[in-house]
A and B are shown apart, each in its own frame.
Chain A
Amino acid sequence: MRRIVFLFFLIGAGFTACSYHLQIKGSKQNVDGSAKSSVEMDSLIAPYRREMLKEFGQVIGETSRDLVTGRPNSALGFWLCDQLIRKAKDSVIFRNEPLVAFINNGGLRADLPMGMITVGDIYKVMPFDNRIVYLKLSIDKIPEMEAYLKEKGGEPIGGFRLMKGKLEFPNSLAQSKKYFWVVTSDFLANGGDNMSFFNNPLERLDTNILFRDFIIEAVKKEKKITYIPEERINW
């Protein structure tokens, strides 16, 4: 009825104005078990899923608790950083050198739930083809790193801790040498996430090791991950 009046006015009187408004209403729905799945979609996906599982379904280990991403402290990130350092320390290059790990929470794309871990799970954690890089940095970069960690609210680190906003090395090696090594990803070393303290390192060692392959090997090696979450970052 109202509409008819509306149209009448519009047609009947060129100088008449009308008034209306848009009513905008929001709602959300969880996509969970209460939603009925689609038969058509299931049959579209099925052959892809079979092929995917053939390659990525293999169980490579397990974890005794959830390894989750997050800020400031991330169990998954810290575990991974510790693994990166452990591997580097196997090499004579770094055995007697001050070495830390510094990666990004944003680059760890999924949590590792408690229980069995498959190759596919690691692809979810690290879908990118990032490679491991070692950077030799002047000790003068520390304040920049501290400021970055503060601004970001924490990132996965290992080999040192951020206590009350200050980075603390476990010993005085870095102080006496005036430099330290950082193990990170090529993505970050190349300017990703604007970690400008990685610019112009004293030295840079690139590797061909994919982060993802490294994580897969680390899980296989540990078989059962028993990492205990700790507070490594606070202000």
Chain B
Amino acid sequence: MERRLFLQQTGVIAGAAIVAPSLMSAGKKQNKLVILHTNDTHSNIDPFPVNHPKFPNMGGVSRRAGLIQSIRNQEENVLLLDAGDIFQGTPYFNKFKGVLEMKTMAEMKYDIVTLGNHDFDIGMEAYKNALSHASFQVVNANYELSSTPLSEVVKPYTIIKKAGFKIGVFGLGVNLQGLVPAENWKGLTYRDPVQTAQQQADALKKEGCDVVICLSHLGYEYKTDQVSDKVLAASTSGIDVIIGGHTHTFLEDLQEFKNQKGKSVFVNQVGYGGLKLGRIDIELCMDSGRFTIASTNQLLDENII
């Protein structure tokens, strides 16, 4: 299932120098970015059993690797992300303490991941140790980690240049209170995800990012007032895409919401267990021959939707 969505986006600033500077250096390369993503893979190295009542013989890291490779063969600019809960769920984790999960993800060339609550299940030292087998970056902006073993290895955000885009990716985690035994996250301070997200989005825009991605382990939606990706999308501005996890939600489609300023934010989540691979294509489209001044552009943007 596929549908085309248009995101009204920047492009209203007068003056060449400040119009998305990274886009100018794109040269003749087409601006197409392919984001591939997983969430809540939960140590599922092997496919689900053939007699599984819900997902017989689905998933499996080897197939995921094959699928990702086949996409890489066709697409030049792939960004591979994971929204957390890499750990916990099969005996592989109990036995090898997350090392195999990290090794397989390194083999698939994941670029950036965020922290899920289960990634704390055997403590932060163990996560750090498993992570030493990988080469990707870990982002989280709302866990204050400076007095924990993760202070050196987890950054609030990272910026990657790909497909002529300057892409800012930051991470958000769920409140660990009540989810993870307290001794496993000692020294970590939880910060409000909405406020943190706004600060991150503002900072990344200021850095000149063309695309701002939030890797979230907050969960897609709740019946309560707990902060979810839907709440986050509606109560912030500056985020283009939220790639979520935690609630194991199988979204049929990329979901579109309006942010605080009425602009589109897209939210995606692909269930759990590595059963699905999410894909988001971002392309830069010039609005042909409509080079106008800033004030007019604003109107034009609204008409694009």
Using a CB–CB distance below 8 Å, which chain A residues touch chain B? 2-3, 5-7, 9-11, 13-33, 35-38, 40-42, 44-45, 48-49, 51-52, 55-56, 66, 68, 109-111, 113-115, 119-120, 123-124, 127-128, 151, 187, 190-194
Asked whether, in the complex, the Cβ of A24 is within 8 Å of the Cβ of B28, the reply is no
Our count of residue pairs bridging A and B at CB distance below 8 angstroms stands at 252
A22–B63 contact, CB under 8 A?
Answer: no
CB atoms of B283 and A192 under 8 A apart: no
A9 neighbours in B (Cβ, 8 Å) = 16, 291
**B residues near A24, Cβ cutoff 8 Å:** 5-7, 240-241, 254, 264, 266, 280-282
Q: Are A41 and B107 closer than 8 Å at their CB atoms?
A: yes
Q: Give A111 to B56 CA distance when docked, in angstroms.
A: 12
B74: interface (CB < 8 Å): no
> Within the assembled complex, what's the spacing in Å between the Cα atoms of A66 and B90?
19
Residue among A3, A19, A30, A32 making CB contact with B287, cutoff 8 Å: A19
B290, closest chain A residue (CB): A19
- Give B residues with C-beta under 8 Å from A: 1-17, 19-20, 23-24, 28, 42-43, 45-46, 49, 51-54, 57-67, 69-70, 88-96, 100, 103-104, 107-108, 121, 177-179, 181, 210-211, 223-224, 240-241, 253-254, 264, 266, 268, 270, 274-294, 297, 300-301, 304
A114-B51, A194-B178 known; A30-B16 Cβ under 8 A: no
Taking CB atoms, residues of chain A closer than 8 Å to B223 are 151
B284 contact set on A, CB distance < 8 A? 20-23
Alpha-carbon distance between A188 and B153 when the two chains are bound, in angstroms? 31
Task: Let me know if B13 and A37 touch, CB within 8 A.
Answer: no
A221: min CB distance to chain B, Å: 21
Besides A28-B276, A29-B276, 17 other CB < 8 A contacts? A3-B28, A19-B290, A20-B287, A21-B8, A22-B210, A26-B3, A28-B277, A31-B58, A31-B67, A31-B274, A31-B275, A33-B57, A38-B63, A48-B92, A56-B95, A127-B90, A128-B88
